[in-house]
Amino acid sequence: MKIETPYYLLDERKLLCNLRRIARLKRRSGAKCVLALKCFSTWAVFPLLRQYLDGTTSSALYEVRLGAEEFGGETHAYCVGYKPEEMPAIRRYANKVIFNSLSQLDHLAPTVRPRSIGLRVNPGFSYSHYELADPACAFSRLGVRDTAAVRRAVECGAVEGLMFHFNCENADFPALVHMLDRLTAQYAFELERVRWVSLGGGIAFTNDGYPLEALAARLQEFTRRFDVQVYLEPGEAVVTRTTELVTTIVDIVHNEADIAIVDAAVEPHMLDLLIYRDPAKGVAGATGGPHRYRLAGRTCLAGDVFGDFAFPRPLRVGQRLRIQDAGGYTMVKKNWFNGVAMPAIVVRRLDGTIDVVRRFGYTDFKNSLS
């Protein structure tokens, strides 16, 4: 099937590889896994995901509702700052409601009971390659840093669970173990008195070569020691290596280097590359060779660049290029900058059939404005 570019191509067979690793971790550790919708919320593949994941976790009301309506299972609500008028809907859709601060816990928790109440804790340490994504950075607003206040909230029965989200793209298992040891030492009193604990997301445990069995054993030990239900919140770990942004070269220009311009763009279609100043992780066919190109988007932003890649043969206008690993934090952040056409969302199903689940056009662009 020839589909007009640009489009995101999500492969369910590749998703299944990650999901089987998640299932293995769950089976060996006893942990539950809820999909982090802030990373990936393409509900066209929820029927597959719900066979392996226990539910969803969110960052705002619309994600809570999407998880409840389209995914099912457990629906965890978390928000850095809830609005009071949102709480009836939060109570309707969520099974667990996690508060970011003691003030919101005090004022808003009564409005959502009897839902299970949790509190986000900032342990003061984290793993992140980027300051922008470091939840324990200086002046962080993410979670309660005051350990004495956390203890009081647990002692008085105000919360049933605690959330510690302290990892970002962490593939370093020894570093994770070190932080878990610090966590258990610092919060042993609290952990012994709650019913469930979320260790958040950001653990790259579906990467090739990750010591999955060792992680499972460590989580099982944690569970047995504190007699709690452990939750993980995978997002990137679910969709890594599953999705391509399929583009077409519309022009090739030269200014000290050959620059191939495609019919997609970084800011509207792979915004995280721009935010974190990272190149795309790869382009299909860029296996090295004498022909080097800068791959760029077609917006007016000077920094609209996917990266520099080498090819065995020259590129040509009209040729398709597939930008790799375009699943996590892409479709959830896509926008209409410059009025560039929004990529369609296409799924290759488990049986190999191609399903164009969503196209976007001028009416969508117009209706997103005023």
The torsion angle over the Cα atoms of residues 98, 102, 104 and 108, rounded to 10 degrees, is 80
* Res. 138: pLDDT tops 90: yes
* Residue 311 DSSP SS3: strand
CATH, residue 334? 2.40.37.10
> Last residue of a domain, which of 211, 239, 267?
239
Is 7 domain-assigned? no
CATH, residue 147? 3.20.20.10
| Residues 139-145, mean pLDDT to the nearest whole number | 96
Q: Give yes or no: residues 112 and 202 share one domain.
A: yes
Q: Give yes or no: residues 205 and 260 share one domain.
A: no
How far apart CA 139 and CA 148 sit, in angstroms, is 18
* Residue 68 DSSP SS3: helix
Q: Give yes or no: residues 248 and 205 share one domain.
A: no
User: How, if at all, do strands 243-254 and 320-323 pair?
Assistant: antiparallel
Is 272 domain-assigned? yes
Q: Give yes or no: residues 66 and 168 share one domain.
A: yes
Nearest to 229 by CA among 155, 106, 126, 118: 118
For residue 215 the two structure tokens come to 């992680």
For the question of whether the overall pTM of this predicted structure is more than 0.85, the answer is yes
pLDDT of residue 36: 98
pLDDT of residue 28: 97
Nearest to 208 by CA among 12, 334, 13, 21: 21
Least confident range from 128-137, 277-286, 290-299, 346-355: namely 128-137
pLDDT of residue 237: 98
Is 167 domain-assigned? yes
Query: Is the link from the previous residue into 234 a cis peptide, with omega within 30 of 0?
Result: no
Range of the domain at 287: 242-367
Q: Give yes or no: residues 198 and 253 share one domain.
A: no
How far apart CA 266 and CA 343 sit, in angstroms, is 12
How far apart CA 78 and CA 118 sit, in angstroms, is 9
Nearest to 118 by CA among 88, 82, 168, 85: 82
Nearest to 162 by CA among 179, 152, 170, 150: 150
Is 303 domain-assigned? yes
Nearest to 342 by CA among 272, 280, 243, 269: 269
Q: Give yes or no: residues 226 and 337 share one domain.
A: no
Is 306 domain-assigned? yes
> Could you tell me the pLDDT band of residue 147, with boundaries at 50, 70 and 90?
very high
* Res. 1: pLDDT tops 90: no
Query: Is the link from the previous residue into 6 a cis peptide, with omega within 30 of 0?
Result: yes
Q: What are phi and psi of 37, to 5 degrees?
A: -65, -20
> Last residue of a domain, which of 239, 260, 279?
239
| Residues 250-265, mean pLDDT to the nearest whole number | 98
* Res. 330: pLDDT tops 80: yes
* Res. 248: pLDDT tops 80: yes
Is 5 domain-assigned? no
Q: Give yes or no: residues 222 and 307 share one domain.
A: no
Nearest to 77 by CA among 48, 51, 89: 89
Q: Give yes or no: residues 281 and 231 share one domain.
A: no
Q: What is the pLDDT of residues 269-295, one digit of tens each?
A: 999 999 999 999 999 999 999 999 999
Question: What is the overall mean pLDDT for the chain?
Answer: 97
Count: domains in the chain: 2
How far apart CA 52 and CA 190 sit, in angstroms, is 30
CB 117 within 8 A of CB 195: no
How far apart CA 235 and CA 44 sit, in angstroms, is 16
Q: Give yes or no: residues 130 and 235 share one domain.
A: yes
Q: Is 121 exposed, middle or buried (0-12, 13-18, 19+ CB in 10 A)?
A: buried
Is 181 domain-assigned? yes
pLDDT of residue 99: 98
Q: Give yes or no: residues 208 and 250 share one domain.
A: no
Is 155 domain-assigned? yes
> Last residue of a domain, which of 239, 257, 280?
239
Q: Give yes or no: residues 109 and 235 share one domain.
A: yes
| Residues 43-54, mean pLDDT to the nearest whole number | 98
Query: Is the link from the previous residue into 114 a cis peptide, with omega within 30 of 0?
Result: yes
Q: Give yes or no: residues 37 and 161 share one domain.
A: yes
Residues 6+ apart with CB under 8 A from 297: 261, 262, 264, 265, 266, 267, 269, 304, 305, 306, 340
pLDDT of residue 96: 98
